[in-house]
Amino acid sequence: MDLIIVLSDAKTQVLDEAAERLARSHLGHYDATSPEEQRRRMEALFEVIVESLKRRMLGPVIEYAERIAKDRFEDGFGIGEVQTAFNVLEESIWRQVTVTVSASELAEALGLLSTVLGAGKDALARTWVSLASEQHVPSLDLRALFRGTGG
């Protein structure tokens, strides 16, 4: 079954689950936002993810994540709050895809989703770090984490 069809068919279920999980997270700035607004934001992110998958282009999810990072940073949200909101939607999408997509198509679906979601989360983090440090950060160099301790 096509990944786009799976996500489109499961949209309401994915968003309901994500909204419920976000509400249970009790995040200060999100708790101060109406459930309708939280749902609208979650749906907007979901639509951008699906658009990136349809077009097989990362631009839409990257641009959206950068804009969200800027908006939420300016509104005083903590990075953990924004990442949690992204993560609850991601978890709901993964749950739906892994139970719906056939085993023969699962590897491709997981690869596509991992790429799009990873690009979005990376853009969110890079933009947030850049804003927090008041300087442009083109990318985060994590190579040192994988070299070991030496010695």
CATH number at residue 78: 1.10.490.70
When pLDDT is cut at 50, 70 and 90, the band that residue 74 belongs to is confident
- What number is the average pLDDT over the span 2-7? 92
Q: Please indicate, yes or no, if residue 62 is contained in any of the structural domains.
A: yes
**Over the stretch 22-38, which tens digit does the pLDDT of each residue have?**
766 655 555 556 768 77
Closest CA to 89 of 9, 148, 1, 20: 20
The whole model's pTM is what? 0.81
Q: What is the DSSP letter of 146?
A: G
Q: Please indicate, yes or no, if residue 115 is contained in any of the structural domains.
A: yes
Q: Specify whether the backbone of 148 is left (phi greater than 0), alpha (psi in -120 to 50) or beta.
A: left
Higher pLDDT, 67 or 41: 67
- Least confident window among 4-8, 77-81, 110-114, 129-133: 77-81
Q: Please indicate, yes or no, if residue 141 is contained in any of the structural domains.
A: no
Domain count along the chain: 1
Give the structural domain span for 85: 3-135
- Least confident window among 82-86, 124-128, 131-135: 131-135
